[in-house]
Amino acid sequence: MATCHDDTPASYSLTEDQIVLQRAAADAARAVLGDTLKQDDEDECFRKDYFHKLGELGLCGVPCPEQYGGLGLGYAEYVVVLEEIAKVSASYAVTVAVSGLPQIILAAFGDEAQKERWLPGLAAGELLGAFALSEPDSGSDAASLRTAAVRDGDSYVLDGTKFWITHGGYADIYVVMARTGGPGAKGVSAFLVPGDAPGLSFGKKEQKMGMRASPTVELVLDGCRIPASNRVGAEGAGFTVAMDALDGGRITIGAVSVGLCQAALDVAGLYATVRKQFGRPIIDFQGVGFMLADMACRTEAARLLVHKAAALRDAHRPYSQVAAMAKCVATDAAMAVTQDAVQVLGGYGYTREYPVERYMRDAKVMQIVEGTNQVQRMVISRHLKHRYQQAGPC
């Protein structure tokens, strides 16, 4: 009988250095972000200076090589940092993760001049990075994007519209995917578009259910002229750049989701321990105690899968399937755990007196970004098909 097995390491306990980093990230996130969370959510206020402060504390350049000013650490450390920030604010955890995408893209695909120009500022949190792939008619089907980049001497001229751009209008540099060739994936190229590039403007700001301290804005390219040297990689290599970024992004969104799970579990667990009904803490009633147990199981299972995906990427082993699994499981867990946290708190959970209703609103979008969870299941099933085809008949 043919066998199909996975021999990846099974241990994801943190090292002493990772624990130190974890504590530092937790302390920094509370110190920088803690005071205005509720008000910023209500006002849909993004504070770029908060991002700069996180950078000053070393949290914005975790995946960036040391020679360009980053910490030069792996995804194993990256997910630890993002989880701790997300426990305090998912909005700013996503900001750090999205600003990390240009760093990861440039480190893997950029030339030396691009790395020296942009990476030190991004790693230090002095510059805010963004990623522009989705369009009005191409979200999950990224290969069908229409934004055009036409070569004109030593320049490219970009025309098109991008949707769902995290901190659009605030970022200093955008990695933009645009079509330089024919239809399909092979016609896509990647470009660096500075935030002050002529012909770059911004449309409506989305009014969102959650993640309200993280602006999501329409990006408009109207005769946007940039130097040809701003192309990242060869013409036609953009889809490869984008898919590599999305695979890594699925791990980071998984980490943010685990942070949401843990934050919701902590609030619900503490509340259930002190809240009494019929003379007993409500955690003593199976209806609540078992709910908390399930929340803890989902949180830990999601965390382990995210760490497995991070370990595979750091080991330069195939990780796309596990990244999709991690994103799917962790974001579904975040939605379930935050919803249960609201239920544990009862009427209080439905009010803004406690943060669990914000956690629940923030969690929903995690099932949508970086490829919907339906797309993740398509990715996973394709890997399974290939795996079992290779294994042969039973």
Residues 110, 329: Cα–Cα separation, whole Å: 32
pLDDT at 291: 98
**pTM of the shown model:** 0.94
Band of the pLDDT at 142, cuts 50, 70, 90? confident
**More confidently predicted of 253 and 11:** 253
CB 253 within 8 A of CB 363: no
Q: Where are the beta strands (DSSP E) in the chain?
A: 129-132, 148-152, 155-166, 173-179, 188-194, 200-205, 216-227, 231-232, 276-277, 280-281
Angle 186-101-183 (CA atoms, 0-180°, nearest 5)? 15
CATH class of 131-236: mainly beta
The mean pLDDT value of the chain amounts to 94
2 pLDDT above the threshold of 60: no
Q: Are the C-beta atoms of 282 and 275 separated by less than 8 Å?
A: yes
Q: Is the pLDDT of residue 391 over 90?
A: no
Q: Are both 16-128 and 131-236 of the same fold?
A: no
The pair of three-digit structure tokens given for residue 261, joined into one six-digit string: 């799970």
pLDDT of residue 91 exceeding 90: yes
* Domain 240-391 top-level CATH class: mainly alpha
Task: Please identify which of the residues 83, 84, 357, 370 carries the catalytic annotation.
Answer: 370
Residue 9 has pLDDT above 60, yes or no: no
Check pLDDT > 70 for residue 358: yes
Is pLDDT above 90 for 72?
yes
Give the pLDDT score at 136.
87
Measure Cα distances from 44 to 31, 210, 218 in Å. Answer: 20, 9, 16
370 is catalytic: yes
pLDDT at 3: 38
Query: What are the boundaries of each domain within the chain?
Result: 16-128, 131-236, 240-391
Asked if 333 and 325 count as a contact pair (C-beta separation under 8 A), the reply is no
State the Cα angle at 85 between 81 and 86, rounded to 5°: 115
pLDDT (mean) for 122-151? 90
Q: Which CATH number fits domain 16-128: 1.10.540.10, 3.40.1670.10, 3.30.1550.10, 1.10.10.10?
A: 1.10.540.10
pLDDT above 70 (res 163): yes
Mean per-residue pLDDT, 232-248: 94
